[in-house]
């Protein structure tokens, strides 16, 4: 059994003011209502074969 290393938490205990500000700016940018499909269905069509894995967002 290897002796598992313990790394210290990389993230700071408290977010910086700048980080909070960036996140709150993001909050202002997102739409106010969720995307939805009306009618007697819960499905959202999303036919695709290619999925982008390169970033944290991708498309909707």
Partner 1 sequence: MNILGVSCYYHDSAAALVSDGKVIAAAEEERFTRRKHDSGFPKNAIRFCIDHAGLSAADVDLAVFYEKPLKKLERALVNARPHGDRAAQLIDWHLSNFVHRESRVAEDIRAVVGRDIPVEFCEHHLAHAASVFYVSPYQEAAIVTVDGVGEWATTGQFIGRSNEIEQIREIRYPNSLGLFYAMMTAYLGFEVNEGEYKVMGLASYGKPTFDDQVGQLLSLFDDGSFRNTPEYCCYTYDDQRMFTDKLVQLLGPARQAGEQITERHTNIAASMQKLCEAALVNLAKATHRETGLSNLCMAGGVAHNVVANSRILNESGFGNMFVQPASSDSGCSVGAALYAHFRRTNGTPAPLTDYDTCLGPSFTNAQIEEALGRFGAEFERVDPGQVAARTADLVHRDFVVGWFQGRMEFGPRALGCRSILGNACNAEMKDILNARIKFREEFRPFAPAVIEEASEDYFEHRGKSPYMLFCPQVKASKKSVIPAVTHVDGTARVQTVSKKLNPRFHEMITEFGKLSGVPVVINTSFNVKGEPIVCTPDDALKCFYGTEIDFLVMGDFIVSKPF
Interacting residue ranges for partner 1, rule: CB under 8 A: 1-2, 4-7, 9-12, 15, 19-20, 22-24, 26-27, 30-36, 40-49, 51, 53-58, 60
C-beta separation of 50 from 57 below 8 A: no
In whole angstroms, the minimum distance from the beta carbon of 52 to partner 1 comes to 9
In whole angstroms, the minimum distance from the beta carbon of 8 to partner 1 comes to 9
Type and span of the H or E element at 4: none
Q: Which residue has the tokens 């910086």?
A: 16
In whole angstroms, the minimum distance from the beta carbon of 56 to partner 1 comes to 4
């Amino acid at each position: 059994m290897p002796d598992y290393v313990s790394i210290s938490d990389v993230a700071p205990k408290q977010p910086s003011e700048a980080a909070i500000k960036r996140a709150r700016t993001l909050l202002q940018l997102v739409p106010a209502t969720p995307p939805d499909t009306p009618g007697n269905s819960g499905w959202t069509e999303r036919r695709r074969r290619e999925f982008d894995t390169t970033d944290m967002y991708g498309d909707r």
